[in-house]
């Protein structure tokens, strides 16, 4: 019985992470609709957005976009 309760707690702890991943994926879709000049202001390219959205559904595309933007800022 303790193992079952532990599995239930683990499953419940994952629920907010799944909702956050879906929310961030939806936000990345909004970013994909921005014009190129605004993407450049953010430090990302349209290809970056498409690559981030074409990852596994469990990965956070907004995190990937933030990493790419930070790398570009450091490269300047």
pLDDT (tens digit per residue) in 40-67: 999 999 999 999 999 988 888 999 999 9
Please give the model's pTM, rounded to 2 decimal places: 0.74
Measure the CA–CA gap between 63 and 76, rounded to whole angstroms.
21
- For residue 16, name the pLDDT band (cuts at 50, 70, 90): confident
Provide the number of structural domains found in the chain.
1
pLDDT confidence of residue 9: 77
Residue 68's domain comprises: 2-75
């Amino acid at each position: 019985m303790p193992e079952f309760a532990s599995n239930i707690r683990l499953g419940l702890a994952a629920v907010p992470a799944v909702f956050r991943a879906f929310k961030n994926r939806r936000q990345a879709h909004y970013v994909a609709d921005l014009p190129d000049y605004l993407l450049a202001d953010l430090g990302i390219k349209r290809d970056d957005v498409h690559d981030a959205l074409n990852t596994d559904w469990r990965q956070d595309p907004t995190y990937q976009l933030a990493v790419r933007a930070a790398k570009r800022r450091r490269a300047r």
